[in-house]
Amino acid sequence: MTKFVSWNVNGLRAARTKGFDQVVTGLDADFFCVQETKLQEGQIDPDFIPGYHSFWNYAEKKGYSGVAILGRQEPLDVIRQIGHEGDSEGRALAIELPEYYLVNVYAPNSQPELRRIEFRMSWEDSFREFLHGLDQKKPVIVCGDFNVAHHDIDLRNPDEFRGSTGFSEPERGKLEQLLGAGFIDTYRALHPTEEKVYTWWSYMARERQRNIGWRIDYFLISERLRPRLEDASVYRHILGSDHCPISITLS
């Protein structure tokens, strides 16, 4: 069995003061993917978790975005570019392993009133083409913060937010396109009708305590990996960020 975890920590240095290292140790994953590290090279010891190699993609802008993969296994290759102008924002990181590619992503937020929707749509197309290219070589596991809720079941108040950032038709359509290109939403594959399962909550109005949230963090896998999918979990009660960790296990 191989276990993968993904977590948007909303600032890795802050998360480490709230128990991040202990969460990594406790979840005991083979690969741990992190989004929104908000770090620059040299601001953290790359070997800060014993037993894990670490791989990083930093944003050029300080204190912004950034992704990392912690892994117990050395990869064959590390890829930090998807071929889009957004590559400077440190949004994607892929490692090649003997059996598959593991891709960690922090999708662009479309911003209030969808101010950045054109950039987001362009980035989505480049990212889908990037994944398709990898998938031609070997199966792909892609995880991270996709910044979109797919269906009504994936957020607490869909009618209130329909058409808004994170639940607009263009954003949902791009996720649908990606799934249509040969990928599976692992959580829904195993829990197709489970309600009130979210991965992000606003800090406002005690929304996490009231479980008024959104499921915007995903593990997607190439369709041919579906027979190996053993588990998909959401760790709602692990704190330290406005997101919670999620995981999958493959045989």
Q: Which of 139, 138, 120 is nearest to 221 (CA)?
A: 139
Q: Catalytic residue at 77?
A: no
* Catalytic residue selected from 135, 145, 154, 217: 145
Q: Which of 232, 135, 227 is nearest to 182 (CA)?
A: 135
Pairing of the two strands 31-35 and 67-71: antiparallel
* Catalytic residue selected from 58, 101, 106, 187: 106
Q: Catalytic residue at 145?
A: yes
Q: Residue written as tokens 């791989």?
A: 55
How far is Cα 208 from Cα 202, in angstroms, rounded to an integer? 7
How far is Cα 1 from Cα 180, in angstroms, rounded to an integer? 27
Contact 249, 6 (CB under 8 A): no
User: CA-based angle 43:44:50, to the nearest 5?
Assistant: 175
> Would you please indicate which residues are annotated as catalytic (active-site) residues?
106, 145
